[in-house]
Amino acid sequence: MEIVLIRHAEAEDPVPETGDFNRPLTRQGQRDALALSLLLPDLLRKPLVLWFSPLLRARQTAEYLVPSLFPVEARSCDAIAEGDLLALQQKWKSLAAETLVLVGHQPHMGQWIRELSGVDLPVSKASCTILRERPGKEKCQFLWHARPEMVARMAGGEESAAHGDHGRML
């Protein structure tokens, strides 16, 4: 199975009225999530499952992905927000999917990439990393990582110019 780790797109700063849980995506975050939704269908194998943190910014990022990944089973998963990789692994072992997409937060995404693949890299907002489980191997194979600037360029959007740099793909 392939495991896709996506850090939620850029969100508004927290305010006392809504707190951290209900921070919506910024306009840039919406553009970055849209770029991911345009690029991912060509990269991911089906059938696929999408799990996302219940925090608003992750949920909104996932909402951009669902239509482009159709058909997809999508659901909120508290273990993502809690950073509980062991609980997630136990749940995904029983999936009959080719791809599992996880939309979550830092520092969990970076820690999980390192723990699953041994690769240590910066995980910016709206970045995407693809790993592949290997039967009989302890670590996943690292397949792909792109920052939002590169995702926008690959998706063919004009968003890349708004970021000011060209990003990099590892």
* Domains of the chain by residue range: 9-46+55-76+151-162
Cα angle 100-41-119, degrees, rounded to a multiple of 5: 50
| Low-confidence residues of the chain: pLDDT under 70 | 157-170
What digits encode the pLDDT tens for the residues 124-139?
A: 999 999 999 999 999 9
> What is the spatial order of strands in the sheet that 48-52 belongs to?
72-76, 48-52, 99-104, 2-7, 128-132, 141-146
pLDDT for the residue numbered 157: 64
Q: What is the model's pLDDT at position 139? A: 97
Instruction: Report the pLDDT value the prediction gives residue 89, as an integer from 0 to 100.
Output: 96
List the structure tokens of 142.
């690292």
Q: What confidence score (pLDDT) does residue 111 get?
A: 98
